[in-house]
Structure 1
């Protein structure tokens, strides 16, 4: 069987990096896509150094022309993409009264429109193969709510809704669509929030409210993503898997 090609958006750091590395260890060819081209190149280089197949591509996922150019490069070097990890996102911590239209538009352009663009551009490869795996990264706040994060959680809640609708639309084509909802994961994004004291209470207090009272690790999200993209996961679709220490169900 030909090696499956996986595209990981936001693959230069955090959960995207961990997922890229694990996919490669499990035998997939990996395209690491990130707006940070140097970071993407570093992750791809790490994969190649470990004996895997990988390429790095730089693109802003909200820019369709950039995404198309990146995918053309991936297809030329690795082949059609049949595994997609929609991970790239930007965060926002703002009370509703302090939000402005520019911020709203930018978060939605990346977190929601970018997800739509990348999925739509990759879909023909999966349809041609009669096989595909799409995993969309949501967030625990989309399930529970989060103070000062109405914009971010709205974008991530939309991902959950679109996951379920796309699963219904694409199942007959051999394509599964699932969502992973991370809890409080130790990523550069989370560390920026911790260092900036952006939570309404100390982050240690948040963790102590969890049944498993610690930060999650990016590798634990990678494990969930790789579960959904396995060859024998073809009867699992439209699901939301929370990796959150029991903080939400």
Structure 2
């Protein structure tokens, strides 16, 4: 059997096109022939992404706010209209921010939940009709803290990630009979995110310093480590996989 990754003509929506994994995922699908709609939060980032990743008009940017249910729905509707349907949905929006549990405010909680779990929930809900029609599939992107304990301050983020992991399993159970697969990629610390996490964390670097040291492979991940797994999960090579969680974190989840 020859394993091939070919998305020629496939219609893909990627949320979080303003974040490193989302942007790299958009580029990877374009490289493999897909027609891609990338959700971004504003026109400035849309212009930047179109300039950086223009591939024979196969890239469409959809501006929308995924913190609001109305924004989730309008993004999906616009993407489906412009793509002419939908074969793959990648939920990759959201950014980690570590705040000690005792200092969490309702605003912190809303920020952590809305841009990740809530966004993935209502984007997927709105996309289901199109995915059922195409017998398509979903890839939810979370972090390994959805499966394990983490550094002090990551409790709300971890709760959001755990929700995404278990939502993936429930989607698989609910949608498998209708020909739609749902899988999840859980990543660890990514180089391209680390400075953002450090800047947003109220932990004087302690959590990230710990993350740096305890990993068998001995380095941070990179976005290019993540995109092959996302492409695989959404390809015909993984047609017997649904409800699966791939942990791609350099070995951190192994228990070190």
Matched position secondary structure for 1:41 = helix
Q: What are the ranges of 5 or more consecutive residues in structure 2 without an aligned counterpart?
A: 1-6
| Residue 183 (structure 1) aligned with residue 188 (structure 2) | yes
| Residue 152 (structure 1) aligned with residue 157 (structure 2) | yes
Matched position secondary structure for 2:39 = strand
Bigger Cα displacement from structure 2, 39-48 vs 168-177:
39-48
Q: 8 Å contact 2:42–2:63 — kept in the other structure?
A: yes
Which of 9, 33, 37 aligns to 1:31? It is 37
CA-based RMSD of the aligned residues comes to 2.1
In structure 2, what is the Cα distance between the partners aligned to 1:125 and 1:18? 24
The match for 1:96 is: 101
The match for 2:206 is: 201
- After the TM superposition, which segments of 4 or more aligned residues of structure 1 sit over 6 Å from their partners? none
The match for 1:221 is: 226
The match for 2:21 is: 15
The match for 1:122 is: 127
Q: 8 Å contact 1:183–1:216 — kept in the other structure?
A: yes
The match for 2:140 is: 136
TM-score normalised by the chain length of structure 2 = 0.88
TM-score normalised by the chain length of structure 1 = 0.91
Q: What are the ranges of 5 or more consecutive residues in structure 1 without an aligned counterpart?
A: none
Bigger Cα displacement from structure 2, 4-13 vs 19-28:
4-13
In structure 1, what is the Cα distance between the partners aligned to 2:221 and 2:53? 23
The match for 1:112 is: 117
Cα offset, 1:127, TM superposition: 1.2
Flag the 1:245–1:103 CA change in 2: closer, same or farther, 3 A.
Answer: same
CA deviation digits over 1:35-82, x for unaligned, max 9? 14322332234332x436010011111323223333333233221122
In structure 1, what is the Cα distance between the partners aligned to 2:12 and 2:34? 7
Aligned length: 246
Cα offset, 1:219, TM superposition: 1.3
In structure 2, what is the Cα distance between the partners aligned to 1:199 and 1:140? 22
Cα offset, 1:99, TM superposition: 0.8
Matched position secondary structure for 2:191 = coil
Flag the 1:92–1:204 CA change in 2: closer, same or farther, 3 A.
Answer: closer
